[in-house]
Amino acid sequence: MKKQSIYILICLLSFTFISNSQIQTLTENPCRKEKIQTEGESEKESIKNYFKKHYKPQIHEKYSGHVSIDTLKDIINFDSIAIRLNLDNEVYQDIFTLGLITGQMLGGSISDTISINYFEELTYIKTKKHQRRFKLLVFHNWYMNPNVFLIELTNIQSSRKSEIKSFLNGAELTFIVNPWNQI
């Protein structure tokens, strides 16, 4: 029994030493030219590159159908497609209630409910003074992982200093894309 314990202890110490030396080699190797990025930094670079390579302004009309809001369940209904909003900042709800983005634009179909659990303004991307870009995560009932959507809203009568609520009142959707799914 004592020999087994010593053997296990030696194996664990060896594994720990090998693991630590490999981690140190990966992070501190002076021969590596590229900087190791965190997942968040890598995603920011991917988003910046996506806009640089694939951005073309689009024209989207505001939704003209019936929009109803169920504030108890945080659900916005666009005729037969519902969006459930689980957002920290309720001001982004106006993007949907004003008809700038609809469930159909986010891949929803008839009698479908999709959920949006994350909405972020991409302040690290340079834009014109009257534009704002956002990232949102859209969950569909039939998918395990969320779809990432990138959008751009434009309000030619606003500036960078405009409050988001006043910016949204005169905004129009000028870009929307689902470049990848989050894993």
Cα–Cα distance for residue pair 18/37, rounded to 1 Å: 23
Residues 17 and 173: their CA atoms lie apart, in Å, by 54
| DSSP secondary structure code for residue 36 in this structure | P
DSSP state of 35: P
What was the pLDDT predicted at 80? 82
Average pLDDT over residues 162-169: 92
Is 13's pLDDT higher than 90?
no
pLDDT attached to residue 27: 46
For residue 150, name the pLDDT band (cuts at 50, 70, 90).
very high
Report d(CA 120, CA 154) in Å as an integer.
Answer: 16
> Is there a contact between 108 and 96 (Cβ–Cβ < 8 Å)?
no
Task: Give the model confidence (pLDDT) of 101-129 as tens digits.
Answer: 999 999 888 778 899 989 999 999 989 99
The pLDDT score that the predictor gives to residue 183 is 81
Weakest-pLDDT range from 11-15, 63-67, 112-116, 130-134: 11-15
* Residue 51 or residue 7, greater confidence: 51
